[in-house]
Amino acid sequence: MSGDTITTTHRLACTPSRAARELGLKRGELDLALHLGLIRTVPDEGGGGRRVPRSEIDRVSSGDGFPDTLLDRVKVVGTTQGADVMGVPAGRFTRLARLGLVVPVTFYLNRYRAVVWLYLAEELKRFATDEKNASLLNDRRMPEGLRAMLDAGVDLRPRNWRGRHRGFLLRPAEDPWERAGALAAFLDPVQIAEIVPDPYERSRLNRFRPGPPASGTPGSPFGLIAERIMTADDPDEIGLLRADLTAVLDEARRVRPAPRPTGERPPAPAHPRQLGSPRPEEPAPPRGLLSRFRRRTPWATAL
């Protein structure tokens, strides 16, 4: 039997690469279909990642309009194409994206080390045909409140992408350590060390902590920019992540404690206030939306 298929008691399953070939998709298109829940996967019983059941490939390939309907649902566009889809100038499209009114689904870094955000064409079409959005698309000037946000340097694309990608990572996570790893992926190592002081638990957590997509070689300029985008930098966002991670870790410890040398006891967990609130020497996070985003993005200009 081929090395990229496995037989189990209940199903025949393929590697994602094999499934992509059989469905006529590029690997990135298949990954997006998996993230969006369009194609179901199952764990590899041998511990080699997730696989696509043969029954799922048959279901998708027998659907009406295959493969065009599937390709339409995973089609992504950049700023220029996205503006064409919505029938607006590219500058207006960028402003809508900065305000978080359209949410990127992925990104890549071009040769100039600029972030290129990509959007689902299907979502942009729905936005453009919704009558509630007509003024945002057609009026010459943005509403005053939105203009003030743009003048203050608001750019919600990184944060909105992180929120969406977090959902992608949590969707297939069945084990609490996997869910903890998905949440930890968006926190920097200092935050993680504060929440998880036990080195054995931190080691187990890092096993399930995915890196950023489209990151290139670790430590390269591309990789560093991708890591920066992946890491939460807004106080409210960080606080929510810390609280969620703390709760999931409590479950993980109960279900499957991290392995450690025989006889060694885990340290007592930190007080919840230390995990979910700012440290005493830190000022409380600003509450206003404008003040939250006055600092401009630290990486190269995004497209």
d(CA 262, CA 5): 39
Which residues of the chain fall short of a pLDDT of 50?
1-2, 5-10, 272-299
Residue 43: per-residue pLDDT: 86
176 cis-preceded (ω within 30 degrees of 0): no
User: pLDDT tens across 28-47, in order?
Assistant: 999 999 999 999 999 887 66
- Rg over CA atoms, the chain: 22
**CA-closest candidate to residue 54, choices 36, 39, 69:** 39
The token pair at 81 is: 């194409």
d(CA 159, CA 139): 27
Inter-axis angle of helices 199-207 and 176-184, nearest 10? 90
Residue 155: per-residue pLDDT: 97
Strands of the sheet with 50-53, listed across from one edge: 5-7, 12-14, 50-53, 42-43
**CA-closest candidate to residue 290, choices 146, 122, 117, 83:** 146
Residue 291: per-residue pLDDT: 43
Distance of CA 195 to the CA centre of its chain: 21
Distance of CA 103 to the CA centre of its chain: 11
User: What amino acid occupies position 175?
Assistant: D
3-state secondary structure at position 71? helix
User: pLDDT tens across 64-111, in order?
Assistant: 999 999 999 999 999 999 999 999 999 999 999 999 999 999 999 888
Question: Can you tell me which residue has the tokens 């290139």?
Answer: 216
Using CA atoms, how far residue 252 sits from 167, 201, 202, 258, 292, in Å, is 19, 10, 12, 8, 33
Residue 301: per-residue pLDDT: 52
Give the angle 90-92-97 at the CA atoms, nearest 5°: 95
Residue 280: per-residue pLDDT: 41
d(CA 237, CA 214): 22
Residue 212: per-residue pLDDT: 87
Using CA atoms, how far residue 97 sits from 39, 154, 174, in Å, is 28, 10, 32
Residue 286: per-residue pLDDT: 43
d(CA 109, CA 214): 7
The full DSSP string for 107-121 is: EEE-TTS-EEEEEEH
**CA-closest candidate to residue 213, choices 229, 197, 192:** 229
Which run of H or E residues covers position 106?
Answer: strand 106-109
